[in-house]
Amino acid sequence: MPVNLAYRAYQFLWEALDWLYPPNCGGCGASGARWCLECTQKTIEIIPPLCPICGNPNSKNEVCERCRISPPRFTSLRSYSVFGGSIREAIHKFKYQHEIGLGEALSRLMITKIEKLNWSLDLITSVPLGLVRFRERGYNQATLLARPISLFFKVPFSSRALSRIRETRTQVGLSVIERNENMSGAFQAKKELVRDKNILVVDDVATSGATLNACAKALLDGGASKVYGFTLARAVYSPIGEIDIS
Ligand SMILES: [Zn+2]
Ligand SMILES: [Zn+2]
């Protein structure tokens, strides 16, 4: 796909800021780039074999037990890498330390993967934050990842396709079933924006897939045709759920 002007302009804007304010790598702290080559090389990409639906690694490229027992509403969920090491460090800075330039830098990693998936997309959106969290943070990190992806693929972005209609408690310590219950009914879709569309929902980290599943349900209830999910990283789910990605 030829790189388009809007996407190049967006990158150029960030590169100009890098020139004015030389960055440090969000993963390792090395000077010169917002995200360095060494950190890319150290990051563990999630590659096949994996479940064709939820994208969790398994040995045979078969639908996993969890998806068989309780099929997710999304068509497919994929992630760039395992949540750990440098990428975990970078996501922490991106979310909690206002290093918003990491959005453009890390979205490049996601773009290289999404390109290979051959998903036919009509609209891109991001997992909305609750109002309280949005006010605390001042920005939605998932949106900062989704915008450059939208520019690259020339697929429209809308931050209004989904809204959070109920605050949810932290997912820490919850089982898969509890996570699904916790997220159930948390989102609502704007019907006139999503009807008959194939939609990609972008987020920074997935754990059980409960959040993306709740987004998919809302979008499909709103008339969307298909829903795909893509996250930068994926926390390998543990039954005791000790990983805090909130
Ligand atoms: Zn680095
Ligand atoms: Zn699965």
**pLDDT tens digits, residue range 151-184?**
999 999 999 999 998 878 777 778 878 888 888 8
Closest ligand to Cα 70: 2
Q: How much is the average pLDDT of 84-113?
A: 97
65 pLDDT above the threshold of 60: yes
Q: Could you tell me the pLDDT band of residue 132, with boundaries at 50, 70 and 90?
A: confident
Which ligand is nearest to the Cα of residue 102, counting in written order? Answer: 1
Instruction: For 117-136, give one letter per residue: b (16+ CB within 10 A) or e.
Output: eebebebbbbbbbeeeeeee
Q: What percent of the chain has pLDDT over 90?
A: 79
- Nearest-angstrom CA–CA distance, 51 and 83: 18
Statement: residue 243 has pLDDT above 70 = no
Instruction: Indicate which ligand has the atom closest to the C-alpha of 208.
Output: 2
238 has pLDDT over 60: no
Give the C-alpha separation, 158 to 129, whole Å: 14
- Taking 70 as the threshold, does the pLDDT of residue 110 lie above it? yes
Q: Are strands 76-82 and 226-234 parallel, antiparallel or unpaired?
A: parallel
pLDDT of residue 2: 62
Residue 178 CA to ligand 1 center (angstroms) comes to 36
- Report the amino acid identity of residue 104: E
DSSP alpha helices (H): ranges in the chain? Answer: 5-20, 37-42, 65-69, 85-96, 102-117, 131-137, 141-153, 176-183, 191-194, 210-221
For the stretch 201-237, pLDDT in tens is: 999 999 889 999 999 999 999 999 999 999 999 997 5
Q: Which ligand is nearest to the CA of 42?
A: 1
Given this model, what pLDDT does residue 148 score?
98
pTM greater than 0.85: yes
pLDDT above 60 (res 27): yes
Mean pLDDT rounded to a whole number for the chain? 92
SS3 state at 77: strand
How far is the centre of ligand 2, averaged over its atoms, from the C-alpha of 34 (Å)? 33
Collect residues with CB below 5 Å from ion ligand 2.
51, 53-54, 64, 67
CA of 181 to the centre of ligand 2 (A): 18
